[in-house]
Structure 1
Amino acid sequence: MLENIKKSYQANNTQFIITNNEGVVIDSDNTLFTIEINSFLSNIHPFFENFVDIIGQDNLNFSCVHLKTNNTEVICDISTSFLSEDKYLIIITDFSKHYQSFQSLAQSRNETAIEKEVLAINNQVLKEKENFKNKFIANFSHEIKSPITSIIAFSELLNKSKLKDEQREYLDVIRSSSQHLKSIINDILDISKIETGKLTILIERFNFKNLINQVIAEYSVKCSDKKLEFVYEIDSNLPEYIESDKTRIRQIIKNLLDNALKFTKEGSISLYIKALYKRAGKLTFSIEIKDTGIGIEESEQERIFNRFNRVESLKNVEGVGLGLAIVREMVNLLNGNLTLKSKPNLGSSFTLEFKAKYPLVELDTEKKKKISKAKTLKKNQTKHRLLLVDDNNDHQLSIFKILAQSNQYFLDIVNNGFEAIESLKKNHYDLILMDFKMPLLNGLDTTKAIKNLSDKRKSSIPVILVTGNLIDSNLLQQKDVLFLDIIEKPFEEETLLNAIERAVK
């Protein structure tokens, strides 16, 4: 049985031909090609044209020969064998499937190798693009924040001067536009930080109720300006201090309130903050922001959290479509939860839920009295001497003007890190305001040099970094060692004064 099976398979893919020494076919089984007896072997295919010259050599082998005659095409192996003085056996074996399979495998391997090479090239290109983007954003951040800082600072100073009504109207436009530009730039930089993993969360203890009261004060005015009612309800069971990221919590609340203001023309905006769980130093709290604005179609509700996406019917509304995307990213970084309920023309409700820790013992009454007393004595304090290290003339002038109005500080100004160290050798300062990006010696290296001074009195002078550069995780890790505080440009006048006041107490 096995012999019959072998013969059957062999008969299907192998042709045997007997020729004489002149290449004339004596016999053929015609399995693959039909060839007449007494015809020439070359009639099968031009491949056999020169066989007469070499056929006398016994046991010749040819591999992967492509033969095509009439409608038959095969990839085969050909071998010859000597039978007698003038007879030769030619064996043609069809290995088409084998060679085609091998070719496909080789091609697949080549394609895989090529794909890997292309992928490596693409990854390199993407890496180079990413590096270029990061460098561009870092420079863009510093270069564009610097003029905006000056515009905002001088606008505030000008606002305190005597102006005609028409001049004040122009100034209001400048202030509003610069604040809007500041908001857009901060959004773009925040998205960049998120993409590169450089938006870090800094967990620290802060006065939660103070933060809420500041937000309420700010948006009571903003709502009043738009003739909207501002409703708020703060749970009395909330602790005064919590441990979380103060900056991100404030930014999330403000982004959502700004969003509500943008899309509410009449009615009210509401802020509700509740303690959902409070026990043994652990707190779960919710923040709900409601408005009576235009509302959002259900089909749009997921899309509006994507970057640069906005409600289709509101393309003419100012903004670049990043506020809600940033909110969701920050909520995720804080391991919080965000839900949205909205109906067209009936307003929207954004609800946030966060977990935090809180101190079991609040500041006692005596400490609060001391703090209150320190504030009342502020006006009678001796003037403090500050050193500003900044190479930008506009920044120097704006900070000088801000401090001059407070009438509580003397200010020395130098242009770079080397001048700062030389000035420290001759004078003592209560605080140093340090720019980051400067020629010769940047703010980070200058601060390290100051901290390494042998004079402990000078090396312990607190330093506040005032920067327009992106603040990455590396800089944040060095914050507690090198800097008392970090202020990002563009900053508000109040932000700068409050930070200085805290530093010199």
Structure 2
Amino acid sequence: MSKIEKPVNWAKRALEFIAGLSAVEKYSNWPAIMAESMANLKRLSGASSVLVVKQDDELTVRVLLGDSTYPSFVDPSVVRPYAGIREPLFLQSPFSEIDSGLKILIKECKSAAVLPVDEEAIRGVVLMCWGDSIDFSSDLKEFVTAALIRIRETCRLASLFFSMDELTVRFNTILSTVPQGIAFTDNSGNNGWVNHKAAALFHIPQGHVTPLVLSEAMRDLREKADNREEILETGNQLFKSKEKIIDNWQWIYSEPEVLVLSVSSRPTITDYSSGMLWIFDDITTNYLAEQRLKELNVELEEKTKLAEERNLAKSQFLANMSHEIRTPMNGVIGMTSLLSRTQLDPDQFDYVESIRISAEALLEIINEILDFSKIESGKLDLEEHPFVIARVIEETYDLLSTKAHEKNLDLLYIVEPEVPQEVIGDITRIRQIVVNLVGNAIKFTDHGEILTSIRVADKDGSLYTLEFSVRDSGIGIPEDKMDRLFNSFTQVDASTTRKYGGTGLGLAISAKLIERMNGRVWVDSKEGVGTTFSFTIQVQAATRIKQFKRETALKDLSGKSILIVDDNLTNLRVLSKTCEQWGMRPTTYESGRKVLEENDDMAFDIAVLDMLMPGMDGIELAKEIRKINQNLPLILFSSAGQFPEDKKAYRKLFAGMIEKPIKNNYLQKILIENLSDHVDERKPALAKNIVPQSPIPADPAQVSILVAEDNLINQKIITRTINNLGYSCDVVSNGQEVLASLERQRYDLIFMDIQMPEMDGIEATRRIRNEFKGAQPLIIAMTAAAYDDDRQSAMDAGMDDYMTKPFNFDEFSTKFTGWVG
């Protein structure tokens, strides 16, 4: 082994190598630095060659700083064994310790040193080769180790430089891309920086600036703002605050063009420095949009207020219009009602009836328009009172049965047993919906039947969703006209030659009422076959339900056989199902002939017979049944409303008679009366309503009546109506005259108009209740106003009852006799 001829101071050479790398100021050209340092290492070590083998990635390993005799790329396995090794390896030929790939690079070298480099960004090995065999003394090894340590430090510094450079590029790219202006200044007064947006805003160069320049630029920008005083005040508060944080600090400019800046500030504090970061965001577009939105909101509030005022004015106008229209309508209907009770020849009576019918039709139109206007203006309030659900249909049928009878239509209804008998809701509005649907069904049906049914669609505790259906056998609705049904002021047939009249408001009003009751409405129809209107509403079941006496029904009806004869199949089905609910055993027939053919002994507990049937009517069938069974109770029901005059001799055949449409309450009552074992507890099947005893005596001579009405026509109507009832009255025209009359004498009953000149009926009633402490008169309000608030105002003032104009003789008579006699 050869030796180096002169003693070498390896420690001095190590310091020289370290000093050479320490002189590097910038690491941007790392390959040049490595080339220079490796050349220096070669010189100081006496090596014949120094190679840098660098791993670029998992698949690429390059040979750097070698001549053309060395390959440019080698297999990655060449450097893989040295990963994680921190100390250099000193090798002598024949190099059995190293990989074959590395042997290729060493070539004919006799001695070699492998310096592993395993830093974060730079990995590989440095190969030092000597052509002769050398003695790796401890000093030489220390030199190589010191060189490796410095090489690694240089690699780390280079990696750090590259990372900082990458961050700087990214940071500058971000700052130059963001739409906000960004500025930084430190508290030392030595460093400041702005991006291009802030530089354009401040009119200074971008990049590094002195804090003094930046401060002056920001001050100039503040001074130009329209709200400079506000900015100054807020700025003082900001710098006095502990946090020194602010967001959305608006700087507003109108010159040279509108500009609004949203300024934010944050302190930036590290272990070595502190400063302030400023962000200037151009929010001009959003600011102008917000200002416009505020202006629109102000306009909207003004228009909403104006709309409410107009709505109120419209509501008041409609109320006044209603009063003004109803007042003369009261004259027309009242006078025709009085005239119809005088001696008239047939032609005259026909004329009077024509006037009455026309007036009532006009009143119906007025009511629909008024209802619609109340709904549209939000003035319609729903009431909440308990009522028997079957009353809705029964009262509807009572109202419309005459029209149905004129067309020989059967009115049928069924309430499913799951439906609560008594519910809480607005019976008036629910009945209004049903009246509209049933009225339309009668209008558009020439023969057949109308069936109204109620069932439970959904139930949540005591909250029921009830489904009403009104099915007719009428003309049906064309499919292409369905979309018009619930629109206001529209009709299926809007032509000038249409057969059926109306305002087109009924269904629209019904739909809105149903919506107010948390329901929906729909229709199924087939042209020429019939139509079914269905709707749902939500109601609460009444907690205190006044039910039928089920115990009596079970005891008196349960298990009893009942014969039902009717040529209408639907009516048969309805009556049969109703009787089954009561525990009875129904047997149904469509004709009397078939009953007689199949029943020799007529062994039934009771029979219900229809009056009008083809082939053999109910009376003829009753005569035949009596021949077979003398004791079978027979019930006759008829749409004619009364027993035929020419057959009154046969009235004794029947234990009772029920008028169509049949009411379940009456039917059950008459069945119980005829089947109950408690004969002494029976009541008349068709008992009249009993008027409660009145505090006013019945003797006309003892009753004093005062009428307060300013309209001359209405004065005549009311006076003559009272006279026709056998009473007399005094008349005054305003509230002051009422008070004056009460000063002179006592009155038992006052009919008080609401709207009168000088003093209205409300004020007059209050004065009467407060000032006349003796025997108080009964006061009945009379008004053409139709709002619920008007009725409530009358009641609150102390009135005892309420009448809505126009009213006819029968309506007035009913109200009058309810209080008198």
How far apart, CA to CA, are the structure 2 residues paired with 1:464 and 1:308?
A: 36
Q: Tell me whether 1:348 sits opposite 2:531 in the alignment.
A: yes
Shift of 1:271: 4.2
2:800 to 459, 471, 484: 484
How far apart, CA to CA, are the structure 2 residues paired with 1:242 and 1:406?
A: 39
1:153 to 334, 345, 348: 334
How far apart, CA to CA, are the structure 2 residues paired with 1:206 and 1:427?
A: 42
1:41-67 CA distance string (max 9 Å, x none)? xxxxxxxxxxxxxxxxx99x99899xx
Equivalent residue runs for 1:316-395 within 5 Å: 316=498, 317-334=500-517, 338-352=521-535, 355=539, 357=542, 358-360=545-547, 381-383=698-700, 384-395=703-714
Task: Describe the shift of the 1:437–1:298 C-alpha distance in structure 2 as closer, same or farther (beyond 3 A).
Answer: same
Residue type of the partner of 2:760? N
Task: Describe the shift of the 1:350–1:432 C-alpha distance in structure 2 as closer, same or farther (beyond 3 A).
Answer: farther
SS in 2 for 1:497: helix
Shift of 1:9: 9.6
How far apart, CA to CA, are the structure 1 residues paired with 2:463 and 2:307?
A: 44
Shift of 1:326: 1.8
1:402-446 CA distance string (max 9 Å, x none)? 222222x33222111111122223333332222111111112222
SS in 2 for 1:455: coil
Residue type of the partner of 2:513? M
Greater shift after overlay, 432-441 or 356-365?
356-365
Structure with larger Rg: 2
How far apart, CA to CA, are the structure 1 residues paired with 2:395 and 2:301?
A: 51
Residue type of the partner of 2:803? I
2:770 to 448, 452, 456: 452
Task: Describe the shift of the 1:337–1:466 C-alpha distance in structure 2 as closer, same or farther (beyond 3 A).
Answer: farther
How far apart, CA to CA, are the structure 1 residues paired with 2:452 and 2:504?
A: 25
Q: Larger relative contact order (C-alpha < 8 A, sep ≥ 6)?
A: 1
Task: Describe the shift of the 1:105–1:492 C-alpha distance in structure 2 as closer, same or farther (beyond 3 A).
Answer: same
How far apart, CA to CA, are the structure 1 residues paired with 2:532 and 2:709?
A: 45
Task: Describe the shift of the 1:488–1:273 C-alpha distance in structure 2 as closer, same or farther (beyond 3 A).
Answer: farther
How far apart, CA to CA, are the structure 1 residues paired with 2:176 and 2:737?
A: 97
Provide the TM-score with structure 1 as the length reference.
Answer: 0.69
Shift of 1:181: 1.2
Identity of aligned residues (%): 29
Task: Describe the shift of the 1:209–1:160 C-alpha distance in structure 2 as closer, same or farther (beyond 3 A).
Answer: farther
Shift of 1:109: 3.3
Shift of 1:262: 3.0
Query: Hey, what does 2:760 align to over in structure 1?
Result: 442
Q: Tell me whether 1:469 sits opposite 2:652 in the alignment.
A: no
Shift of 1:186: 0.5
1:27-51 CA distance string (max 9 Å, x none)? xxxx9xxxxxxxxxxxxxxxxxxxx
- Kindly indicate whether the alpha-carbon contact (under 8 Å) linking 1:385 and 1:430 is maintained by their aligned counterparts in 2: yes
Equivalent residue runs for 1:6-405 within 5 Å: 101-204=282-385, 215-225=396-406, 227-233=407-413, 244-264=425-445, 266-272=446-452, 287-298=468-479, 300-301=481-482, 303-311=484-492, 316=498, 317-334=500-517, 338-352=521-535, 355=539, 357=542, 358-360=545-547, 381-383=698-700, 384-405=703-724
Query: Hey, what does 1:71 align to over in structure 2?
Result: none
Shift of 1:255: 1.7
Query: Hey, what does 2:820 align to over in structure 1?
Result: 504
Residue type of the partner of 1:359? K
- Kindly indicate whether the alpha-carbon contact (under 8 Å) linking 1:465 and 1:483 is maintained by their aligned counterparts in 2: yes
- Kindly indicate whether the alpha-carbon contact (under 8 Å) linking 1:389 and 1:420 is maintained by their aligned counterparts in 2: yes
Residue type of the partner of 1:396? Q
How far apart, CA to CA, are the structure 1 residues paired with 2:769 and 2:414?
A: 44
Residue type of the partner of 2:412? Y
Provide the TM-score with structure 2 as the length reference.
Answer: 0.44
Query: Hey, what does 2:729 align to over in structure 1?
Result: 411
Query: Hey, what does 1:68 align to over in structure 2?
Result: none
Residue type of the partner of 2:334? A
1:281-339 CA distance string (max 9 Å, x none)? 99987654332223224554454223223225567442221111222333444556644
Shift of 1:153: 1.2
- Kindly indicate whether the alpha-carbon contact (under 8 Å) linking 2:390 and 2:415 is maintained by their aligned counterparts in 1: no
SS in 2 for 1:128: helix
Residue type of the partner of 2:529? L
How far apart, CA to CA, are the structure 1 residues paired with 2:293 and 2:424?
A: 52
Task: Describe the shift of the 1:466–1:366 C-alpha distance in structure 2 as closer, same or farther (beyond 3 A).
Answer: farther
Residue type of the partner of 2:523? L
Shift of 1:246: 4.1
Task: Describe the shift of the 1:347–1:413 C-alpha distance in structure 2 as closer, same or farther (beyond 3 A).
Answer: same
Residue type of the partner of 1:348? T
How far apart, CA to CA, are the structure 2 residues paired with 1:9 and 1:284?
A: 62
Task: Describe the shift of the 1:367–1:122 C-alpha distance in structure 2 as closer, same or farther (beyond 3 A).
Answer: farther
Q: RMSD over aligned Cα, in angstroms?
A: 4.6
Shift of 1:197: 3.1
- Kindly indicate whether the alpha-carbon contact (under 8 Å) linking 1:154 and 1:398 is maintained by their aligned counterparts in 2: yes
Shift of 1:349: 1.9
Shift of 1:177: 2.0
Task: Describe the shift of the 1:120–1:313 C-alpha distance in structure 2 as closer, same or farther (beyond 3 A).
Answer: closer
How far apart, CA to CA, are the structure 2 residues paired with 1:179 and 1:489?
A: 12
How far apart, CA to CA, are the structure 2 residues paired with 1:283 and 1:360?
A: 18
Gaps of 5+ in 1: 13-30, 32-57, 66-73, 76-97
1:428 to 734, 737, 746: 746
SS in 2 for 1:457: coil
- Kindly indicate whether the alpha-carbon contact (under 8 Å) linking 1:281 and 1:359 is maintained by their aligned counterparts in 2: no
- Kindly indicate whether the alpha-carbon contact (under 8 Å) linking 1:149 and 1:489 is maintained by their aligned counterparts in 2: yes
Residue type of the partner of 2:491? R
Gaps of 5+ in 2: 1-164, 178-195, 197-215, 225-255, 258-279, 550-664, 670-679
How far apart, CA to CA, are the structure 1 residues paired with 2:379 and 2:791?
A: 10
Shift of 1:159: 2.3
SS in 2 for 1:163: coil
SS in 2 for 1:319: coil
Task: Describe the shift of the 1:11–1:399 C-alpha distance in structure 2 as closer, same or farther (beyond 3 A).
Answer: closer
How far apart, CA to CA, are the structure 2 residues paired with 1:109 and 1:213?
A: 59
Task: Describe the shift of the 1:213–1:105 C-alpha distance in structure 2 as closer, same or farther (beyond 3 A).
Answer: closer
- Kindly indicate whether the alpha-carbon contact (under 8 Å) linking 1:467 and 1:489 is maintained by their aligned counterparts in 2: yes
